[in-house]
Amino acid sequence: MQIKATDTPLLDWTGDLLAVGILEGETELSGDLAQLDEKLSGTISELIADEKFEGKSATTAISRVGGKNPIRKIALVGLGKSEDLKLDSWRAATAAIARMAKKSKTLGISLPLGSESPESLAQVITEAMILALHQDNRFKSEPEDKELKLETVDLIGLAGQDKAIANASIVADGVILARELVNAPANELTPITMAETAQQLASDYNLEIKILEQSDCEQFEQGMGAYLGVGQASDIPPKFIHLTYKPAGTAKRKVAIVGKSLTFDSGGLNLKPSGSGIETMKMDMGGGAATLGAAKAIAQLKPDVEVHFICAATENMISGRAMHPGDILKAANGKTIEVNNTDAEGRLTLADALIYAEKLEVDAIVDLATLTGACIVALGNDIAGLWSTDNALAEEMKTAAELAGEKFWQLPMEEKYFEGLKSEIADMKNTGPRAGGSITAALFLKQFIKDTPWMHLDVAGPVWADSPSGVNNKGATGFPVRTLVNWVEG
């Protein structure tokens, strides 16, 4: 599928399907739309009347165009009220268009520009079109969706935005990589194959790469006992992945992105019971998947920022070697952890990964993890939690997320709650009371950062969709690759 900006006027466009945007409450046609309606013998006004189309956000109506017109079908898509317009309005409208355009060979899109820049709109429309049409059929003998015929998408009124379209395609490809990593079952995506994916990214996009094997992790500082403790029951060796992007010139800053990378989480000896979601625990490397997806995009966009991408990949399994409830692990900084729940394993892997990241002397560290069910209870499936030791860093990420259309909510770093993590026999336990579970998880991670500005993102809800919504189909969403890219680009 080729997406291109065109200088062809709306009235002169020809092709299979023309989609035009309508603002809510502005269904009285004027300007180019009125002229187009006249040219199409009143088809648009009839469609509005017949479907009682009001222009509400992401609503659609479609009709064949009679006669010998150079357009086979006309579609209307609602953008909502003009006073509520934001980038997400165009994103939602485009996703709705994409789903009705699958059987068309050529598609023209004409949406009101509003106050947003043409560059921003071209990027948003391109990302939404690619992501809404993405289908992951790798594991089907025959693809379910045999109807996708779309070859060309013309963005009418956005001539000159070829670079924005190209950049948006790069970002969307990064999102798709993250989706496909999360969708892959645990017998396909293991710590070994995840490391191989990182090695392929390094080869394709000229990134530096270092893979720490188990012996390397044992020798790092005081030993990555927390990370290695989680994976000790698995027959598959852990792979500590460190990818680095460096700009050609002087970097304006240096940052680290650390993604939780549990390729499967059984819960360990605190086994997840059937019905608890154990069958979906291939998604527990959603943070690592987004980290690699962001690496793919950033390596091609080439911002003037040095970025370190870190994934401490392993499995949390059961065997005679398994980590026991009650075991005491020692992280690379010497801090000791009493394991009171083997199913709170992600924070153990992240503890050593954060220590490693801080040794790189970066200006900021962001970790992202499918860390707690408590965060889903607090914020639902669509909103990720955000905690930070640095207000400026938090505001940067919120701005980046707003531009991406990905939702975060900042929660408090309530130091008093750390009392619930204190251990009688070690420096801390790996879980605290049920109340405030996502906050105590963030406080646990904070113990492994000394001075670097740090942010924790709990993305447990939004990395997976149980039903299609917006640009996401059912399954992995690729959240929050777009936010991470926006943050790095600043």
Cite the active site residues: 272, 347
Which DSSP helix (H) or strand (E) runs through 410?
A: strand 407-410
Q: How far apart, in whole angstroms, are the C-alpha atoms of residue 340 and residue 428?
A: 10
Cα 205 from Cα 299, distance rounded (Å): 6
DSSP 166-219: HHHHHHHHHHHHHHHHHHS-TTTS-HHHHHHHHHHHHHHHT-EEEEE-HHHHHH
Q: How far apart (Å, rounded) are the C-alpha atoms in residues 368 and 51?
A: 44
Alpha-carbon span 420 to 59, nearest angstrom: 48
State which amino acid sits at residue 274. Answer: S
CB 477 within 8 A of CB 463: yes
Pairing type for strands 254-265 and 364-369 reads parallel
Distance separating alpha carbons of residues 475 and 468, to the nearest angstrom: 8
DSSP secondary structure letter of residue 322: P
Do the Cβ atoms of 436 and 375 come closer than 8 Å?
no
DSSP string, 367-380: EEE---HHHHHHH-
DSSP string, 462-474: TTEESS-BTTB-S
Among residues 454, 411, 447, 405, which one has the least CA distance to residue 429?
447
**3-state secondary structure at position 147:** coil
Question: Can you read off the two tokens belonging to residue 180?
Answer: 């496909």
- By CB neighbour count within 10 A (0-12 exposed, 13-18 middle, 19+ buried), where does 392 fall? exposed
